[in-house]
Amino acid sequence: MKIYNYKDLSKSAIEELCSRQVEDDLLIEERVTDIIKTVKADGDKALFDFAKAFDKVELQKLFLDADELKTIASTIPEDAKVAIETAYQNIKTFHKSQLKLEDKVETMPGVTCWRESRAIEKVGLYVPGGTAVLPSTFLMLATPALIAGCKEIVVCSPPQSDGKTNCYLAYCAVLLGINKIHLIGGAQAIAAMAFGTETVPQVYKIFGPGNRYVTTAKTMVQNRVAIDMPAGPSEVLVIADETANPSFVAADLLAQAEHGVDSQVILVSTSSDIINKTLLQIDKQLGILPRKEIAAKAVQNSYAILVDNLPEGMDFSNEYAPEHLILATKDFDNLIPLIINAGSVFLGNLTPESAGDYASGTNHTLPTSGFAKAYSGVSTDAFLKKITFQHLSSNGLNNIGAIVETLATAEGLQAHKNAITIRLKNED
């Protein structure tokens, strides 16, 4: 992990550090374009072929039904069952609190406006597999979808080597009342949900994180289907001062690094001593991790920055716009107003990012690669549409009529004006 001094960095150097350029984007785009075209042309056949080529599995069918999911779910260890149920209740509680009715507003006498929520009818949920199968992501996506009232929920997740899914995902499906998991991963899963195949229904919006291929596929199908956000390789930025615990900071950095070799972990600190002690702790803790080779490569692509003070650290963080931001300081309350760009924030030395990943209740599907400057993380709202309503009484028509007529005339749209005028004359 390289160490930089913030005051020595030019504006262009900071922009380069925040760029997240890890792999050849053009090559990925070419490959994903081919995958999408093939799925559109060949449907289910393409999905079977891609499973054989990418997942090394000869699938007999592209999904697991309710009975198969129940059988697989029955093998879950009791402690994992309890943990999933507790996490689900916390996630459900937090996301249910986001359902709020909006008041009607009288913008002028007799003119009433308001908004009402309607669920997106068909949604697609992508639950990553690859080097790790993530039941937590299943909970994070399906729970708000169910709370919102989505009628059709299509779930895709890569198959395991046995051509099935694991007991944790299966138990999530049973717990949530979802009766089918499609055994499809990668860009091909995104294409299948965007365009539909003989087996996979077409959806109206796609949710879920993934690698660069999944993220690229999501951005490419946006002319056909909505997406939650660009959610690619994971990242965390930790701001630490002299009150931080280096072993805690190292653990937080490694927790994110073990996601994948293209994950990025950033340490921003006011103390060179904290940086050095954290790097020593990373070396110490890395050696005992089962996924140490993956985490080590992610750490190699990462860096630490020494800053003069915490507000300076926040300046860099806002430019980086991290998916996860950890404030490893006793002074976190004073930093909260300075946060402009971040996906999810973890306050103080006793709040690890993994709490939010699994069970605190907040959603862990978050914008990456700097998109936290413009996107929010997944919420119940993400599964809803807001429809506006307006109603004019006779008094309202008289109050607003001349205003609309004048504006329509200014824009040269006579029919717009006439729609008001004919009603005003009828009122007479």
Instruction: Please give the positions annotated as active site.
Output: 323-324
Enumerate residues 6+ apart whose C-beta is below 8 A from 61: 183, 199
Q: Which residue has the tokens 């997740």?
A: 157
Task: Give the Cα separation of 19 and 14 in Å (integer).
Answer: 9
Bridge-based pairing state of the strands 105-108 and 111-119: antiparallel
Q: Which residue has the tokens 């030019």?
A: 10
Phi and psi (nearest 5°) for 287?
Answer: -65, -25
Task: Give the Cα separation of 274 and 282 in Å (integer).
Answer: 12
Task: Give the Cα separation of 353 and 346 in Å (integer).
Answer: 6
In the structure encoding, which two tokens stand for residue 30, read together?
């070419």
Q: Which long-range contacts (CB under 8 A, 24 or more apart) does 146-150 make?
A: 146/176, 146/177, 147/92, 147/95, 147/96, 147/99, 147/380, 147/383, 148/117, 148/119, 148/120, 148/380, 148/383, 148/384, 149/119, 150/119, 150/120, 150/121, 150/122, 150/123, 150/383
Q: Which residue has the tokens 């309350």?
A: 333
Q: Is 186 left (phi over 0), alpha (psi -120 to 50) or beta?
A: left
Other beta carbons less than 10 A from residue 120's beta carbon: 20
Q: Which residue has the tokens 């792999």?
A: 23
